[in-house]
Amino acid sequence: MCGIVGYIGKRDAFPILVEGLSALEYRGYDSAGVALVNNSGLSVFKDKGKVDHLKEITSDIENATGTKIGIAHTRWATHGAPSYANAHPHLDVNKRIALVHNGIIENYSILKEKLKKEGIEFLSETDSEVLAQLVGKYYDGDLSSAVRRALLEVEGTFGVAVIAFDNPGVIIGARRGSPLVVGVGDDEMLLASDASAIVQHTKKVIYLKDNNLIELKHGFFNTTTLDNRKINPEIHSLDWDANALAKDGFEHFMLKEIFEQPDTIRNAMRGRLLVDDGTARLDGLNLVLQELRAINRLIFVACGTSWHAALVGEYLIEELVGIPVEVEYASEFRYRNPIIDAHTLVFVISQSGETADTLAALREASRKGATVLGICNVVGSSIARETHGGVYLHAGPEIGVASTKAFTSQLTILSLLTLLLGRMRRISHSDGVTIARALEAVPKQVKKILKQNERIREIAGIYAKHNNFLYLGRSYNFPVALEGALKLKEISYVHAEGYPAAEMKHGPIALIDKDMPSVVLALKDSVYDKVLSNIQEVNARGGSVIAIANEGDREIEKYARHVIHIPKTLPLLSPLLSVIPLQLLAYHIAALRDCEIDQPRNLAKSVTVE
């Protein structure tokens, strides 16, 4: 992985390819490259580093322009460190084939040894070059057939784009477990791992399904399965435009997306929150009310930030719906033997809808007969297509690698789900209306918190040089503590740990000193007094406390060195508000440490490998 772009048409391919790579930079990567078909054969330009570096090394090269077909790639290292040799595109030994690849070829070492015995010399450490050499081995002028034969030998995941120097009228794309989107333009075709690389050229797209192969020509495409059965794919229309990819005056996409949250939370509720009825409508679940009433157990499966949202969902549903909930790491769920019956409902949560571990967990749950529903942001994604139903976030494209607006949108959907299920079981009409009205008020309350941005930046300035943080919360805000710590780790490269506040004395308290600040979520709820005691334990050991507290709480100021106040809401909705200052704190600390915020090192936006 991480990004693929392909173009064939009537325009100059090179600037379109590089522009597409720039649109994919948010996914995280360590090298970039382009392959073009021209009169003299294949021209390949690649190196470790950013797309801007690729532009520099091609700025004075004549054969970088004028061609009408090419493929490009941004790489996030899996097999082999970032280097010129390991960067994509890869060529076969005869330099007839150029290939870019996302995913993991699990049996690459077996295939590589086999090819070496046939006299093929490898130039890189990557699994992807094995695939290029395999396609080259089978290529006899029919590129589609060669790719098909090669992929039938592959175990693992792939999204590939392939061109041949003596076949300048075709690009072959194929996928299994790694997304590919085809853009259908005016006498031109595009291919990408993400629609953001396509949207400025066309809004008509095809989402390739697993084990699909597509042949792209000038204004023409042919889609088949890997075993060569004809497919007539549906053409979709993108519901967002290229303007969504602009920073709109913000220094970073992450900051823009933090400030978009009043709108994205509102979008997640629009048409779904029925305030007067004290309930919610989630049409995408594709379940009749009787089926929902029959559920006696629910499992959330997710990774990273989505896993933290799922933890909040566990608190919500167990308290207000009264059914047991389990929250599973997708990467562990797929290798266990989970107990699932006809009354178990499985929800998979993923921003991108392409997270490899979550997809594998989805398929495992489906194999065991579970009803599997999805919560994701990307229309047409694998999770959206493979689940029995689900709910879109409608958050728009999230460019920053560290998720912010998707997290609060996930919390909003989980609150709506709780309201829907709860009204069927335990929540009265009047309580439902109270919850719905409080949820309706959240966007304005988030906007109020965002007005403290400058003050939070000042607090960040005091602590930006610290290299260790502790995040503490209880009840609904324990998962928020985990998420706050994750945000700081992701973009500031600062060590941070989240804990239930009461667990601090069972080990982490040994770490507290003047150099380890504690960020404590101390909201006025049933455990407020307990959290105050935890703060005093930190103070007694010389630690500094940054507290997130409710407006009007002056008592907290006796114990915390710095206090960030947020509006009051129902405790069950407090994570939607308490996470906002933690996002801003992480952002400003990262900015003050001069970190690469939108594309933090070693991370990728959509993790499509295990």
Convert the pLDDT of each residue in 152-210 to its tens digit: 999 988 999 999 999 888 999 999 888 899 999 988 999 998 888 898 899 899 999 88
Q: Starting from the edge strand earliest in sequence, which strands make up the sheet with 468-473, in order?
A: 495-500, 468-473, 518-521, 545-550, 562-566
> Are both 523 and 500 inside the same structural domain?
yes
For residue 25, pLDDT over 80 is answered with: no
Per-residue pLDDT for 28 more than 80? no
CB atoms within 10 A of CB 273: 22
Name the burial class of residue 290, with classes exposed (0-12), middle (13-18) and buried (19+) by CB atoms within 10 angstroms of its CB: exposed
Pair (320, 272) in one structural domain: yes
| More confident: 505 or 11 | 11
| Alpha helices per DSSP H over 451-555 | 453-463, 478-492, 528-539
Residue 243 has pLDDT above 70, yes or no: no
Give pLDDT tens digits for 475-495.
Answer: 999 999 999 999 999 999 999
**Cβ neighbours, 10 Å, residue 561:** 16
Q: Is the pLDDT of residue 590 over 80?
A: yes
What's the pLDDT at 82?
Answer: 81
Residue 221 has pLDDT above 70, yes or no: yes
Give the span between the Cα atoms of 360 and 378, in whole angstroms: 18
388 vs 581: CA distance, rounded Å: 36
The residue with tokens 């399904």 is: 209
> What count of Cα atoms within 13 Å lies in the side-chain half-sphere of residue 517?
20
Query: Is 541 or 409 the better-scoring residue by pLDDT?
Result: 409
What is the C-alpha to C-alpha distance for residues 228 and 219, in angstroms, rounded to an integer? 21
Higher pLDDT, 195 or 548: 548
First to last CA, the chain: 11
Sign of the CA dihedral 268, 274, 279, 285? negative
Strands (E), 364-506: 371-376, 389-392, 468-473, 495-500
Last residue of a domain, which of 400, 421, 445?
A: 445
C-alpha–C-alpha distance, residues 240 and 552, integer Å:
41
Q: Are 281 and 223 found together in one domain?
A: no
Residue 246 is predicted with a pLDDT of 74
347: its two tokens: 């929800």
Cα-atom radius of gyration of the chain, to the nearest Å? 25
Grade residue 473 by pLDDT with cuts at 50, 70 and 90. very high
Angstrom distances, CA of residue 373 to CA of 284, 322, 333, 383, 415? 9, 20, 16, 9, 16
Q: What is the pTM of this model?
A: 0.79
From CA 486, how far away is CA 398, in angstroms rounded? 17
Q: Do residues 430 and 479 share a domain?
A: no
Mean pLDDT within 454-481: 95
Query: Do 365 and 381 belong together in one domain?
Result: yes
> Looking at the predicted structure, is the pLDDT value of residue 244 above 70?
no
Can 595 be counted among the known catalytic residues? no
Res 563: pLDDT: 96
Contact by Cβ (8 Å): 325, 298 = yes
How many angstroms separate the CA atoms of 567 and 552, rounded?
A: 9
- Using the predicted structure, report yes or no on whether residue 240 has a pLDDT greater than 80: no
Q: Indicate the pairing of strand 230-231 with strand 189-192.
A: unpaired
Contact criterion met (CB below 8 Å) for 401 and 24: no
Catalytic residue among 50, 405, 487, 605: 605
pLDDT tens digit string along 246-288? 777 899 999 999 999 999 999 999 999 999 999 999 988 877 6
pLDDT at 557 over 80: yes
165, 166, 168, 170: CA torsion to nearest 10? -100
CATH at residue 36? 3.60.20.10
Do residues 441 and 576 make contact, with C-beta atoms less than 8 angstroms apart?
Answer: no
pLDDT for 270 equals 92
pLDDT at 606: 59
**109 and 35 in one domain?**
yes
Beta strands in 103-227 (DSSP E): 158-164, 171-176, 181-184, 189-192, 204-207, 212-217, 220-225
Whether 143 has a pLDDT exceeding 60, the answer reads: yes
- State how many domains the chain has: 3
Average pLDDT over every residue of 18-23? 88
Higher pLDDT, 492 or 503: 492
Residues facing 223 on adjacent strands: 214, 231
Q: Is 489 a catalytic residue?
A: no
**Confidence (pLDDT) at 316:** 97
State how far the alpha carbon of 87 is from the alpha carbons of 62, 80, 523, in Å.
Answer: 22, 10, 49
Beta strands 389-392 and 495-500, pairing class: unpaired
Q: Structure tokens of 432?
A: 């439902």
Whichever domain contains 415, its CATH number is 3.40.50.10490
Strand-pairing partners, residue 164, are 97
Beta-bridge mates of residue 6: 71, 191
Residues β-bridged to residue 534: none
- Among 188, 213, 241, which residue terminates a domain? 241
DSSP class of residue 122 equals P
Q: Which of 2, 303, 376, 595 is catalytic?
A: 2
Provide the β-strand partners of residue 100. 161
Q: Which residues pair with 498 in a beta bridge?
A: 471
**Is 245 or 238 the better-scoring residue by pLDDT?**
238
Structure-token pair, residue 564: 């960030």
Residue 104 is predicted with a pLDDT of 85
* Whether residue 259 sits in one domain with residue 149: no
Mean pLDDT along residues 204-226: 91
Q: Please report the pLDDT score of residue 1 as a whole number.
A: 52
Instruction: Show which of 205, 221, 241 is a domain's final residue.
Output: 241
What is the percent of the chain where pLDDT is above 70? 96
Q: Are residues 266 and 184 in the same domain?
A: no
| Phi, psi angles (nearest 5°) of residue 413 | -60, -40
**Distance between CA 165 and CA 438 in Å, rounded?**
62
Query: How far apart are alpha carbons 411 and 154 in whole angstroms?
Result: 39
Residue 576 belongs to domain spanning: 452-610
**Tens digits of residue pLDDT in 367-403:** 888 889 999 988 778 888 888 888 999 898 888 889 9
360 and 260 belong to one structural domain: yes
Whole-Å CA distances, 443 to 190, 258, 270: 38, 12, 12
Q: Are residues 226 and 263 in the same domain?
A: no
**Statement: residue 589 has pLDDT above 90:** yes
Residue with token string 């509102």: 266
Are residues 253 and 148 located together in one domain of the fold? no
233 and 252 housed in the same domain: no
Q: What is the largest CA-CA distance in the chain?
A: 78
Q: What is the pLDDT of residue 84?
A: 87
Residue 289, pLDDT score:
67
Dump pLDDT digits (tens) for 61-119: 665 667 899 999 988 777 778 888 888 899 999 999 999 998 888 898 999 999 999 99
- How confident is the model at residue 76, as a pLDDT? 75
- Statement: residue 609 has pLDDT above 70: no
